[in-house]
Every structure is written in C-alpha cells, then in structure tokens.
Amino acid sequence: MNTRTLGNSGLEVSSIGLGCMGMSFSYGPAKDVREMIALLHAAVERGVTFFDTAEIYGPFINEELVGEALAPFRDRVVIATKFGFDVSANFDPRGMKGPPGVNSRPEHIKQAVEGSLKRLKVDVIDLLYQHRVDPAVPIEDVAGAVKELIEQGKVKHLGLSEAGAQTIRRAHAVQPVAALQSEYSLWTRKPEREIVPTLEELGIGFVPYSPLGKGFLTGKMDGSTTFEGGDFRSSLPRFTPEALEANQSLVSLLDGIAREKQATTAQIALAWLLARKPWIVPIPGTTKLHRLEENIGADDIMLTPDDLRDIDTAASAIEVQGERYPEKLEKMTGL
C-alpha cells in the first residue's frame, strides 16, 4: 500500500488506515477477540500501518484488543488513541441515555495517558487526540498538557477530533497539531467550508472517520434496513428508514462511477477522499476480512480531475436528508 504523511508532522502512515471502534463498541455486541486479532494481523500483512482506537471504545477493551494484536508489529505500525471523555472503570455505556461528559483537565489527560499506555502495551503513544473539545478547559491548557507528555517521551504527536477552526489554531500555537480527525465523506462535507482550508494553511493532516458514512456509502442499506441491539446508528437521524430511502441518490451516483471503474461504491467513496488532498488519510472500520480487502483496494483507484468534477457536480444537486447526530451529540462537535 502507498503511504502518506500527515501534514508537516513527518508522521508517515498507510494511505488508508483502520478504524477499530466497531470491533468492540457502538455497532452491536463486541466481536470475538480472537477473530478481531486475526483481522488486525491481516491488516498489517496487507500493508495497513495506521490503527485508530480510544479509551472510551468499550470502554477500555478496544485499546486492550489493539494493544494485544499489534504488539508483535510495534515497529511497523502507528497507533492513535484518544482522551477527553469522563470514563472510569465502572462506566457502563449500556446504561447511558447519552454520551458521558467531557473531561480534558490536564490532570485527567495525564491519568488517561497512563492507562492507554498500559492497555496498548507501548512505551509511547504515536498520535494522541483530544476526542471532543471540553468547553470548560481552555484548549491552550490541553495542548500544553500534551506538550509536557511529548517532552516526557510518552506521546509523539498531538491530534484533535471534531474541533473548529479557531480551536485548531489556538492549540497549534501552543503545540503543533499533527492531525485532525472529523467525520468527512460525500455525505458529510461540512469540513470543506473552514476546516480543510485551515488544515492546509497550517500543515495539519486530516483523518476522516466514517468515510463510508457509517456503512451507508457501501450501497448495502435502504429504507428496510434494521439495526441489531447496541448499534448506535438506530439513534441517528440520518439512519431513519425515511432518510435512508431519501439518500439513495447519493449511492446511485457512486454506483454509476464504480461500474465505469470496475470497482465498488465503497472504493469510489474512499478514492474520492484520497483524491481530495495528499494529506488526507481515511480510516474506514470493519470487522470482516473481505471488507478490509475491499477498502484497501481503493488505494489503487485513480480518479481523474474530470471524474472529480463530475462527482462534485452531481453531488451538489443532492441534498442529504437527516442530521448526522442527535442535537445533544451534534453540540459536542465543531467547538
């Protein structure tokens, strides 16, 4: 697989990474650990070097999974994790009616990092994201705390997730930000307004999560799709039967191009992101080997300027139906 560098950070990763959240969290029950370890090994064998996790995924068990699986390949991979939610050992996401509170107090960050280091079985975290901006803690204090951890050799690079342009600038002034992780795909294009130009100006990489629209852009969903218990998509406005049906025109657009390129709709969705900027690295998640191989295959698809223009022209005429998150969750983004 080809590699890319996240902005000016010097952090080189595979062109397509692997989001590991769904192996343990949010998309139904946690998957079999042995099967997921085998999948992570298969990803490394196929050239994936960039793996994404977080302490809240589980919580904690996803970091443990990634740490165990990737321990034999530590010198070949880049592991990114996140802090920023108020999780504890007795935290039970199944009993929650909403997300936990955010917590980016410097002392909490340092505590979270110690836990992540142990669970990931590493001496240093390659890329440490603030998972969500904490409005109660100045971002300068957050960046300063991570800067201290970098100086102590416990972290290599600072990242932010779902942060707004001004927050990114303020953090970057204290400690260079290597990457921003936010949702970005053909059906979530809001980052193009302010975020992408800001990242380009500052030399910061962009790591789109949900680059396949939480599965929608694979073309495998329609108005009759149902979700099993524990799948958080059942609570998202964009995944109601009405929205799934209304948004099929976007999938049809991808499908037409996929037929021309002898590819899949998912591969075209990923290739579109790769073609946007050379410092964009999507991290599609999967729990299936054939999907992993399909996603990796997007790295071999070249979209021409004409292709991109045709996609943008057609997509601009499609109004995506449904908000991506309920109001409470949406308020936690773009601060």
* Structure tokens, 269: 């969705």
Indicate if the pLDDT at residue 100 is higher than 70.
Answer: yes
What pLDDT is attached to residue 98? Answer: 53
- The yes/no answer on whether domain 3-218+276-301 falls in CATH 3.20.20.100 is yes
Domain ranges of the chain: 3-218+276-301
The catalytically annotated residue of 57, 129, 184, 209 is 57
Banded pLDDT at 89 (limits 50, 70, 90): very low
Banded pLDDT at 279 (limits 50, 70, 90): very high
Q: φ, ψ for residue 160 (rounded to 5)?
A: -125, 155
* Structure tokens, 1: 């697989």
Give pTM, 2 decimals: 0.95
What pLDDT is attached to residue 92? Answer: 55
Identify whether 57 is a catalytic site residue.
yes
What pLDDT is attached to residue 332? Answer: 82
What pLDDT is attached to residue 232? Answer: 93
Q: Burial level of 277, CB count in 10 A (0-12/13-18/19+)?
A: middle
Mean of the pLDDT values across residues 129-143?
97
- CA-to-CA distance for 195 and 171, rounded, in angstroms? 14
* CB-CB contact of 271 with 262 (8 Å): no
Indicate if the pLDDT at residue 48 is higher than 70.
Answer: yes
Banded pLDDT at 95 (limits 50, 70, 90): very low
pLDDT in tens, 162-209: 999 999 999 999 999 999 999 999 999 999 999 999 999 999 999 999
Banded pLDDT at 91 (limits 50, 70, 90): low
Q: Please give the distance of CA 113 from its chain centroid, rounded to a whole number.
A: 19
- CA-to-CA distance for 214 and 200, rounded, in angstroms? 26
| Percent of the chain whose predicted confidence (pLDDT) is above 90 | 91
pLDDT in tens, 227-242: 988 899 999 999 999 9
- CA-to-CA distance for 155 and 175, rounded, in angstroms? 12
Indicate if the pLDDT at residue 93 is higher than 90.
Answer: no
173 Cβ partners below 8 Å, 6+ apart? Answer: 140
